Structures are given as C-alpha cells and as structure tokens.
Amino acid sequence: MTLILFNKPFNVLSQFTDEGSGKRTLKEFIPIPGIYPAGRLDYDSEGLLVLTDDGALQARIANPKNKVAKTYWAQVEGIPDAAALKALAAGVDLSDGRTRPAKARAIPEPENLWPRHPPIRYRKSVPDSWIELTITEGRNRQVRRMTAAVDHPTLRLIRVRIGDWSLGDLTPGDWKNA
C-alpha cells in the first residue's frame, strides 16, 4: 500500500488532471502513478492532502459517515468572540443543513507559516485573526461557509490534520511517504 502526505499549495486542484481548465494539478508535484486523493481540498485552500492506492482506505477517510476528524487553521476577518466560537462548536445552520458539532478555538498566528502567493488582501480598517476548527464531515467549502455564518469570513484556509496524519514540517508542494 502506498500512502502519501502532501502539502497542497494555494491554487492547485486536488486531482491529477485539469480537464482543460489550465489550472495546476497534483501531476505537477507527485510523480507516482496509481494513487488518488482521499477526499478533496478546495482549489483556494492549502495544506494536508492524503493520497493512496488503497481504495478502502481512501473511502474510509473521505466518507463523512466515518467521522474522520479534519483540523484547519483559518485566518478570518475580525476577531471572533466567545459567542462566535461557541456557535461554531455547537454547529451552524448552512443552506444544506446544520453542521455537526465541531471543535473551535482562537489561536495565535501559526509559527513558521509559509507566505501565500498571492498574499491575502489586507484591509487596514478590518483586523484579522486565526482560529483552529476541527470538523468530522466534509461538505463543499464547509469551513468557509461556517466562518461566514458567524460573520467572520475566511481569508486563508490551511488543513493541518486528517485523522492521525498531520502536515508536520512539509512545505507547500512537498510530499512524503507516511
């Protein structure tokens, strides 16, 4: 069995083909045939992606029924108060239903964080801050929609953990065997 941990850069598709879009794909970074992502990470999100050639493992990681925890660092507009964090933890109402309870906490800006290219847009009149959010489902753009639902839109999103696997010291575009 092959198991790869990859730090997906910003603006890279979580697939090996671009289907004519002209966007960067995993093929540019990972020269191993026969592996596939276990789940997805949005084009405009960064961080941990697990790839494997084991279909059963891939399904176990990706299927929301299995409640595999995924942890994200989200740089958000504003400074979420205790009520916003409590709402995220309890679950928020989205257009496709209420989210499962999550773990949510304010964190300092992560140390040793790589710069994003292009950088996020800073606004002098609106502060930003970081939260750590752990969810056990994987709806489309879920973390971004959750933070927007509590009036703190996500500016930058980095997945740092999937189950027992973590991003560790992988830099964007780097991968390693797990």
Q: Helix, strand, or coil here: 80?
A: coil
H helices of the chain, in order, are: 55-62, 82-90, 142-149
Q: Write out the DSSP string of 82-120.
A: HHHHHHHHH--EETTEEPPP-EEEEEPPPTTPPPPSSPP
Gap between the Cα atoms of 62 and 44, Å rounded: 19
Gap between the Cα atoms of 25 and 49, Å rounded: 13
Residue 42 a catalytic site member: yes
Gap between the Cα atoms of 15 and 36, Å rounded: 8
Gap between the Cα atoms of 166 and 154, Å rounded: 21
Of 133, 130, 142, the C-alpha closest to 70 is 133
Q: Which of 18, 42, 53, 93 is catalytic?
A: 42
Among all residues, which ones are annotated catalytic? 42
